Amino acid sequence: MQVRKIQCCKWDSKRDKLKKIPALLRLERFSGSSLQPISKNYSTFLIFIRYMFASLKNGFEWFLFGNLLYGVSAVALALETTLQLQIPLKHPGFYLMLCFGTIAFYSFSYQYDHHPKPGNRRAEWIYNNRKTLFRLQWIYVFISASGGLWLYLSLPEISHRRTFEYFAVMGLFPGIAVLYYGIGFPGLFTIRLRQNGWLKPFIISLVWVGCIGVTPVVLQMWRFPQESIPVVPFVGFLLHNLMFITVLCVLFDIKDYAADHNCQLKTFVVRVGFRKTVLFIVFPLVLAGIASLLFFLEWQRYSTLGILLNLMPVFLLLFVTFQMHRYRSIQFFLVVIDGLMIVKASFGIAAALWA
């Protein structure tokens, strides 16, 4: 049986969108020398399948390139922190503020390129959807601000001094994030922490750990000032998160090796190369993270199953590290490298709940 050409839809490479054009709904096939029409229901089913695949692809690209992945990762890691430290879950306004604030920050950070390089799928997607992204940025900011206001109104009243202290601690990490991409005063000075290639991964991980680890604890102290949180396991868990996210940032710099080299941005990979980065930077950080994690798990008296569940993301991180010597696409870095944050949070939540 031979199938005649089916024309249901066409890919517009300029806009990267699935454009519906008049479809040939009457599909035909050859059966010997006679021409027999296929049922209309079958042809409609084929069109529906193609439409569903295109919709899934479009949604997947929005999740990756639209920075929704970072918002989900932030919420997942914040949930893991509260469960691992055995403190109550936070107010819904906190998760709204954290999720949409993270998405908005990364949306403002990745400005579209007027002339995206061929093969840079992320830059092309951002350029093709720049108008929609520009509108969504301010919607994200509004939702995040609304969540923050909702959270603040739910908190009990405390002294002005304590309020200032708590706001100073929680605002420190978003402030560092702003300084990371730069703030300047014309004719005076410019601060851009990103220019320091050695500190770059540690600054990013510090911001993440502060937002998903320190902020929930500060809110807990605000809401229940009479309750104390053990400092030693808290610091151990934060150090583990800091080392884990730092390694992800170092691995992610491999993608930007050529651009960083041309811009004279001396990241670890640019300075010492991939092999030495893995041997002298990644492995020591992973070992430090494992040591702090085991200290935390022993202090919290986790079972063997809980220890294995918490160590599983570290083993996956090492496995991914050994796969980095080959060329990888931007989708690999976003799905695998950044996706490890969701994997880590999932295993941590499972360990806290069932182990």
Mean pLDDT by 10 residues, the chain (355 residues): 44 42 40 48 72 77 88 96 91 95 88 64 82 90 96 90 92 90 62 80 94 94 84 92 94 77 77 86 93 93 93 93 77 84 95 86
**Identity of the residue numbered 333:** F
Q: What is the dihedral of CA 167, 234, 314, 205, to 10 degrees?
A: 20
Residue 118's SS3 state is coil
Instruction: Express each pLDDT in 104-120 by its tens digit.
Output: 999 887 765 566 666 67
Structure tokens at 350: 């499972």
**Which pLDDT score, from 0 to 100, does residue 260 have?**
72
DSSP letter, residue 23: -
29 phi and psi angles, rounded to 5 deg = -140, 155
Q: Report the pLDDT value the prediction gives residue 114, as an integer from 0 to 100.
A: 61
- Tell me the three state secondary structure of residue 37: strand
Return the sign of the alpha-carbon dihedral for residues 87, 93, 98, 103: positive
Look up residue 86 and give its two tokens: 């055995």
Neighbours of 321 (CB within 10 A): 18
CA dihedral over 126, 129, 134, 136, signed as positive or negative: negative
The answer to whether 77 touches 344, Cβ cutoff 8 Å, is yes
C-alpha to C-alpha distance for 3 and 137, rounded to whole angstroms: 47
Q: In sequence order, what DSSP letters do the residues of 176-236 get, joined into one string? A: HHHHHH-EEETTTEEE-GGG-TTTHHHHHHHHHHIIIIIHHHHHHHHH-TT----HHHHHH
Element (H, E) at 347: helix 339-354
pLDDT score, position 112: 59
Nearest to 309 by CA among 324, 297, 292: 297
Q: What is the pLDDT of residue 316?
A: 94
3-class DSSP assignment, residue 72: helix
- Whether the CB-CB separation of 178 and 194 falls below 8 Å is answered with no
| Residue pair 286/316 in contact by the 8 Å Cβ criterion | no
> What tokens were used for 102?
């993270």
**d(Cα 236, Cα 258) in Å, to the nearest integer?**
36
Of 190, 283, 300, which is closest to residue 234 (Cα–Cα)? 300
Residue 30, pLDDT score: 40
Per the CB < 8 A criterion, the answer to whether 206 and 242 are in contact is yes
Residue 143 neighbours by CB distance under 10 Å:
17
Who contacts 189 (Cβ-Cβ below 8 Å, separation ≥6)?
none
Token pair, residue 43, equals 């042809």
- Could you give the percent of the chain with pLDDT greater than 90? 43
Rg (CA), the chain: 25
Encode pLDDT of 281-335 as tens digits.
999 999 999 999 999 999 988 999 999 999 999 999 999 888 877 767 777 777 8
Computed over every residue of the chain, the mean pLDDT equals 82
State residue 15's pLDDT score.
46
